Structure 1
Amino acid sequence: MTTQNAVSEVDIRERIDILLDAVRNGDLGALKTIFAPNLVSFDIEPPLRHLGAEQKWANWEKVFAVYRVPLGYEVRDLTVLVDGDLAVTYAVNRISGTLANGAQAGMWVRWTAAWQRIDGAWMIAHDQVSVPLYFPDGRAATDLTP
C-alpha cells in the first residue's frame, strides 16, 4: 500500500467513526457530511435503489423516528481498500436499541460502501445494505450473528 493510500485509509476510518457517532446520536446533520450528493444507495428497504443523498437522509430520518436515541450501532470486521481517489469498505453492522414503543430491537446487516474523494473529502458515492434470506420462504434472516 502506498503512503497516500495508507493516509486515505486512516481518513476513511475517521469518516466511518463520524458516521457511527451520527447514527448513535440521531445526528442527521453529521450524516449529511458523509454521503455524496449523487449517491446511489441499495438500501435495506424499497425501492430497489435510492437516488441522491436526500433519499438516504430520508431513510435515516425514518430510523430515528422508530428508535429512541441513543441507538446502538456497531461495525464489525471492517475492511478498507483504497486506490487513489476511490475506495471500497465492507463490514457487518449492527443497529440496536429501544423502539419508540419501548420494545428492544436489533439486527445485523451486510454493508458495502464505495467511497470517492470529492474536493479532498471522502464521501460515500454508493452503498449497499442487505440481510440474507432463508429459502424457500424468502424470510429475512435478521436473527443471524457474526
Structure 2
Amino acid sequence: MEQTAFTLQGARCLVIGNGRIGSLLAHKLQVLGAAVTVSARSARDFAKIATAGLSALDTRQLAGGLAEFDLIFNTVPAPVLGAAELAGLTPPCLVIDLASLPGGVAADAPLPQGCRVLHALSLPGRVAPLSAARAVRDTVLTMLKEEGIL
C-alpha cells in the first residue's frame, strides 16, 4: 500500500499465475476486499479459480485486456508481460513482479505514463527464507505422496 494512493479494499487486482504463490495471493487479496481476477492457462486451473469465486483470464491472451486493473501481480517466472501487454495499462496501474528469476515482466518494455513496475523477484525467499523453505518442502512432499513415492 506504500506504493499506491489507495487501499486493497475495492482495488481491481490481477494475479498472473495460479500456482502455489498465485493461488494463495489471490485468496489473501479476496479476503482483504479486492476484486480479484486470476490468469491461468489450463482448464483445471480455470475450474479451481471459478470454485474459489474469482474471475479468470487466459494468460496467453493478456494483450489488450489489462486496462481495467489497478494492481497486477505476476507470479509466473517466464515472459508474460511484454510491450504489447504493458501498453494496455491504465494509469496509475502498479505491476508487482513476484516471480523467481528471470521474472515475467520485460525490463525494456515501455510503460504508459503514470504506470510503474516494482521488481520484487523471489521476494518470499529473500525476506522469509525459513517460511519459503517450509512451503517448498511441503509442496515436494505432497507431490511425492501423490505419485506414490512416499
TM-score by length of 2: 0.22
Higher helix proportion (structure 1 or 2): 2
Higher strand proportion (structure 1 or 2): 1
